[in-house]
Amino acid sequence: MIYVTGDMHGDIMRFKDPAVKKLQKGDTLIICGDFGFIWDGSRKENSVLKKLAEKEFTIAFLDGCHENFDLLERYEVTQWNGGNVQFIMPNIIHLMRGQVYTIESKKIFTFGGGHSQDFDFRRDSSNWWIQEQPTHLEIMNAIDNLAANTNSVDYIITHEPPASLKDCLGVDVFQRLEVHAFFEDIIKACYFRKWYFGKCHIDKHIPVKFYAVFDKVHTLK
């Protein structure tokens, strides 16, 4: 089975949630950005990653706005299930921006990154990276990948929400990025069954196709 949950920010306790503990060998857990377990490269962090590598299921994460992109970029880019990925551990996989993966016969489009809401506080520190913001090239590559799949996928999983949902979510989109316009184009031009995103740190269904995800674990059926 394929499952989706929200931002973890390096909190190992999230893997003790009963909904996560029930995952079995062959299952895939997709995290909608801000995985947070690749942050400082410390001995403690490496120990935690080795612990996660003992899980029998696959942990697949999108990058969010709170990742150490300098560390993340050191991992080799390779192919997995039809799209570009980076293997952190044999069962821990970074799902990259604008890719379409086929997992258990389901087509899943992913697009991580976004804009930190605490940008004004973090931008002059050592824990903010400009790579969090999607580039024009990444968006164009995503357009090509969607077109190669006839603009039709089963699921869309992103970190940022489509900006048009902000009133439903009760949150502000503080900075308009090119990716926000791209997401609005996807809504109009692409077929998809459901869209999941993690940035807002809430669990909410916005009828009919959109899901803000945080603690809850959704099953992709």
List of domains in the chain: 2-220 (3.60.21)
Structure tokens at 5: 């949950």
Strand partners for 204: 212
For the chain, which residues score pLDDT lower than 50? none
pTM of the model: 0.94
Q: What is the pLDDT of residue 66?
A: 82
Strand partners for 31: 5, 61
What are 119-159's pLDDT values in tens digits?
555 555 566 667 788 999 999 999 999 999 999 999 999 99
Q: What is the pLDDT of residue 172?
A: 58
Burial profile 165-190: b = 16 or more Cβ within 10 angstroms, e = fewer? beeebebebeeebebbebbeebeeeb
SS3 for the chain, per residue? CEEEECCCCCCHHHHHCHHHHCCCCCCEEEECCCCCCCCCCCHHHHHHHHHHCCCCCEEEEECCCCCCHHHHCCCCEEEECCEEEEEEECCEEEECCCEEEEECCEEEEEECCCCCCCHHHHCCCCCCCHHHCCCHHHHHHHHHHHHHCCCECCEEEECCCCHHHHHHHCCCCCCCCHHHHHHHHHHHHCECCEEEECCCCCCEEECCCEEECCCCCEEEC
Cα gap 71→137, rounded to integer Å: 21
The burial of 44, by beta-carbon neighbours within 10 Å (0-12 exposed, 13-18 middle, 19 or more buried), is given as exposed
